Amino acid sequence: MNISFARFGRITRCGTMLLLCGLLLCTSVLHAADEVNVYSARKEQLIKPLLERFTEQTGIEVNLLSAEAGALLTRLRNEQRNTPADMLITVDAGNLQRAVEADVLQSVDSEALQQLVPAHLRHPDGLWYALSVRSRVIFRHRERVPADAINSYAQLADPAWRGRICIRSSDNIYNQSLVAALIEHQGEAATEAWAAGVVANLARSPQGGDTDQLLAVAAGECDLAVANTYYYARMLNDPQQKATAEQLAVVWPDQDGHGAHINISGAAITRHAPHPEAARQLLEFLLSESSQQWYAEVNNEYPVREDVAASEVLRALGEFNMDQLNLSVLGKNNAAAVMLMDRAGWR
């Protein structure tokens, strides 16, 4: 900042010191406005390149802290007004709803965001917005399971699949959100009966992540698995796992009903953000066409924006009808889903 002292005439030493202190304070404030602090539950390599692009385009420096979703929420709760965080980025609408209930987010009133993000992929009051979409679907072994053998989540509880299903444990947020969606569609009693049926059909005790379920199908430990689409797409993009992945096929459930269950990664501005305007700019940038294209190609996830195409690998899986349920419901039904799964013996 260049300031000419000539027009001020004589300035006392005390006055000079006061003026310099004021200038230093002003410079500090301006510098602070040129940064944004992000708490992210996503792996660094899945978000950092976009943050670097944002800095290149805007000059706003991004400070990134990566950790598990639960740890970040605990930190925000503890920091309250003293938090340095401007933005929270996390996976699963259930985690976003936990942040809503903890009252650590603020509403963002942005016409651009409302136009770019479909209503079911954002909080009704603008407390969070989706950045990318994944679907939790059924995968079958191409040879052992005919294409017309299963077409719905409900059929996972059919005794015909006794000892033939692999799925993650009940403490996994992705499974909790799937159950939460089913509760919303069909009620707790029917969903609990379904969950008990799924447990009875397990080929093994729940273990490992989504990729492990897919590998188990290929290895013959089970014939069906439930997993998120981006894990499968990641395998198809990996030369060492492509042949294994090609033994499996996607089943898009409930295409004549509610549609395939979806979930998101999403972002929100924290309630006590020191730099809310810079955070809003970053949120809008993450939903720009170029950012959405990057997500689609690199992260193997579906774009939120309807005018941005999915990656070639995802397009090859075919078009599907997605559930239009507002995803805020997944978090609201989470506690009921966890208790229901426990009663059904889902460990």
pTM of the model: 0.87
Is the pLDDT score of 41 beyond 70?
Answer: yes
pLDDT computed for residue 33 by the predictor: 56
Residues paired with 115 in a beta bridge: none
- 294, 276 contact by CB (below 8 A): no
Confidence of residue 296 (pLDDT cuts 50, 70, 90): confident
Interval 19-45 mean pLDDT: 62
Is the pLDDT score of 293 beyond 80?
Answer: yes
Interval 135-145 mean pLDDT: 98
Q: In this predicted model, which residue has the larger pLDDT, 136 or 24?
A: 136
Interval 327-336 mean pLDDT: 95
Is the pLDDT score of 146 beyond 70?
Answer: yes
Interval 29-57 mean pLDDT: 85
| Proportion of the chain above pLDDT 90, given as a percent | 88
- Residue 2, Cβ neighbours under 10 Å: how many? 3
pLDDT tens digits for range 171-206: 999 999 999 999 999 999 999 999 999 999 999 999
Residues paired with 140 in a beta bridge: 224, 249
Is the pLDDT score of 31 beyond 70?
Answer: no
pLDDT tens digits for range 116-129: 999 999 999 999 99
Q: Where in the chain is the domain with CATH 3.40.190.10?
A: 35-133+262-310, 134-261+321-343
Confidence of residue 45 (pLDDT cuts 50, 70, 90): confident
Q: Which two tokens stand for residue 148?
A: 């017309």
The structural architecture, per CATH, of the domain 35-133+262-310 is 3-Layer(aba) Sandwich (3.40)
Q: In this predicted model, which residue has the larger pLDDT, 307 or 11?
A: 307
pLDDT computed for residue 10 by the predictor: 30
What's the whole-number average pLDDT of the chain? 90
Q: How far is CA 334 from the centre of its chain?
A: 16
Is the pLDDT score of 259 beyond 90?
Answer: yes
pLDDT tens digits for range 271-286: 999 999 999 999 999 9
The structural architecture, per CATH, of the domain 134-261+321-343 is 3-Layer(aba) Sandwich (3.40)
Confidence of residue 295 (pLDDT cuts 50, 70, 90): confident
Interval 244-261 mean pLDDT: 98
